[in-house]
Amino acid sequence: MDYIRAFIRPYYTGGFNSNSAEYFKHVAEPFYSQIFKGNEFIQFLDTAKKKISDAVIIDDVKNFYNEILIKQEIDGNRCLFLKSDTTPKGLELKSKNHVNVRLEFS
């Protein structure tokens, strides 16, 4: 569960200025592509969803992962914007249990 809670993390560029677009970018845990091959990560999430009580966080991670795959195919980039009260565009997270996501995005 800790791995799933920490899967989404801020894209670090050297500072945390909320006036910068970089502040709103998030990336996946950097080693998932080395740990899981092909469709193994989705299978891992499906199995985890059956075993934990916070199924919403699994859905968030699965949606984030799928969006990353789409974005990577389009422009080679693995950064995603997350939706907040001040940023209406971006992926909306439903769970409040993400460890590394800034509170205004969850």
Q: What pLDDT digit, counting tens, does each position of 55-65 carry?
A: 999 999 999 99
Token reading at 58: 């699994």
**pLDDT at position 67, please?**
92
CA 9 → CA 47, 50, 59, 83, distances in Å?
Answer: 22, 24, 16, 14
Both ends of the chain: CA-CA distance in Å?
Answer: 17
Query: E strand or H helix at 49, and its extent?
Result: helix 40-51
Burial of 60 (0-12, 13-18, 19+ CB in 10 A): buried
pLDDT, tens digit, 9 for 90 and up, residues 4-44: 999 998 887 666 666 666 667 888 988 888 899 888 999 99
| Structure confidence at residue 13 (pLDDT) | 63
Q: What is the pTM (predicted TM-score) of this model? A: 0.84
Residue type, 84: S
